[in-house]
């Protein structure tokens, strides 16, 4: 049985080393200027060091270039892609066709992973981008298990699925926090947390939504963390290629502990299914203990239809 890749998002180089020891197979890194909602910032020198470090341990590094690009950044894409090609990045994650077009010109052998966050909801679309040059499709977080399995059965490209972490509910290229949340202060509170995000408190539903701004604008994240550690069987049997743990706004210690448990879960689910069935509830309980009080775990949309 094929073992899926365990893909994680390190905060910095030291965290990346610890995640390797925890069992990660591959990493998503990059710069805010080109990538969306990164767990950490890696400049060119750090990218080069990270790729060398990963390759020395037979790990892979995928560089995020999935931001929303306007005209002023388009001319930079070729130079950045040439750099990534020179330092032997294993793949580039893109959403904008401008990245694909630039890669064909300056780095035609670069492996490309298509990721638009929301529009990878059927295998026809995944295969369309595959025929354009993408080798992998990152599925939307809002589709259920049956759809994931059906897409994998019909896909001509690798399939990546997020199995743990928060998800983005809203993004705007504008800086909205200051004025909008002050105006809404009559009914909602914004709390300044220890992390780089604020929390939008919806008292009616008792939810706290992380909200933060970066070079790509304003991001409002889900109030819960997705967790599917106890429901990996169907996707492993379908041979989904990559399981991603998203660590945006998380601590390095949290990421290491979560990675350790998913490493154990994946290995057992592939190699000793009976033992996995025996311990998966314990693994889930251990992850629940790691959660912040205001961020419960749930199964996202894996077992329900999306309502738009």
pLDDT digits (tens, 9 = 90+) for 38-92: 888 999 999 999 999 999 999 999 999 998 888 989 999 999 999 999 999 999 9
Instruction: Extract the tokens encoding 269.
Output: 């689910």
Q: What is the mean pLDDT of residues 251-257?
A: 94
Question: Which of 84, 90, 68 shows the shortest CA–CA distance to 7?
Answer: 90
Percent residues over pLDDT 70 in the chain? 86
State how far the Cα of 282 lies from the Cα of 280, in Å rounded to an integer: 5
Looking at the structure, tell me whether residues 187 and 64 fall in a common domain: no
Looking at the structure, tell me whether residues 103 and 191 fall in a common domain: no
Looking at the structure, tell me whether residues 56 and 129 fall in a common domain: yes
Q: Say how many domains are in the chain.
A: 2
- Residue 189 above 50 pLDDT? no
Q: Evaluate whether residue 308 is within a structural domain.
A: no
Q: What is the mean pLDDT of residues 94-105?
A: 95
Q: Which residues contact 156 (CB under 8 A, 6 or more apart)?
A: 126, 127, 130, 131
What pLDDT is stored for residue 61 in this prediction?
Answer: 98
Percent residues over pLDDT 90 in the chain? 66
Looking at the structure, tell me whether residues 278 and 196 fall in a common domain: no
Looking at the structure, tell me whether residues 152 and 9 fall in a common domain: yes
Looking at the structure, tell me whether residues 87 and 54 fall in a common domain: yes
- Residue 144 above 90 pLDDT? yes
**Which is more confident, 95 or 117?**
95
Domain of 213, in residue numbers: 171-219
Looking at the structure, tell me whether residues 46 and 154 fall in a common domain: yes
Looking at the structure, tell me whether residues 178 and 92 fall in a common domain: no
Looking at the structure, tell me whether residues 234 and 212 fall in a common domain: no
**Which is more confident, 292 or 204?**
292
Q: What is the mean pLDDT of residues 15-44?
A: 94
- Residue 227 above 80 pLDDT? yes
Looking at the structure, tell me whether residues 101 and 162 fall in a common domain: yes
- Residue 208 above 70 pLDDT? yes
Mean pLDDT of the chain: 88
> Residue 138 — very low, low, confident or very high, per pLDDT cuts 50/70/90?
very high
State pTM to two decimals: 0.87
What pLDDT is stored for residue 134 in this prediction?
Answer: 96
- Residue 160 above 60 pLDDT? yes
């Amino acid at each position: 049985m094929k073992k899926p890749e365990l893909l994680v998002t390190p905060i910095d180089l030291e965290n990346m080393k610890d995640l390797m020891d925890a069992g990660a197979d591959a990493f998503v890194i990059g710069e805010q200027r080109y990538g969306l909602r990164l767990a950490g910032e890696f400049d060119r020198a750090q990218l080069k060091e990270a790729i060398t470090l990963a390759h020395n341990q037979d790990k892979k590094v995928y560089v995020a270039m999935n931001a929303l690009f306007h005209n002023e950044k388009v001319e930079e894409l070729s130079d950045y892609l040439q750099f990534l090609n020179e330092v032997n990045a294993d793949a580039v994650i893109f959403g904008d066709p401008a990245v694909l077009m630039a890669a064909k010109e300056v780095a035609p052998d670069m492996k490309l992973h298509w990721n638009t966050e929301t529009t990878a909801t059927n295998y026809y679309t995944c295969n369309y981008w595959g025929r354009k040059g993408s080798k992998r499709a990152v599925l939307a977080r809002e589709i259920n298990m049956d759809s994931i399995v059906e897409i994998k059965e019909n896909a001509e490209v690798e399939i990546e699925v997020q199995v743990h972490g928060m998800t983005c509910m809203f993004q705007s290229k504008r800086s909205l926090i200051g004025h909008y949340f002050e105006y809404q202060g009559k009914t909602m509170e914004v709390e300044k947390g220890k992390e780089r995000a604020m929390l939008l408190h919806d008292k009616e539903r008792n939810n706290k939504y992380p909200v933060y701004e970066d070079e790509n604008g304003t991001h409002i994240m889900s109030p819960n963390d997705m967790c599917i550690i106890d429901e990996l069987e169907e996707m492993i049997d379908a041979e989904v290629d990559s399981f991603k743990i998203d660590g945006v706004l998380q601590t390095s210690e949290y990421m290491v502990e979560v990675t350790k448990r998913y490493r154990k879960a994946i290995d057992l689910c592939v190699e000793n299914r009976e033992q996995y069935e025996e311990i998966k509830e314990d693994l889930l309980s251990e992850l629940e203990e790691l959660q912040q009080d205001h961020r419960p775990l749930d199964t996202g949309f894996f077992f329900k239809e999306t309502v738009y």
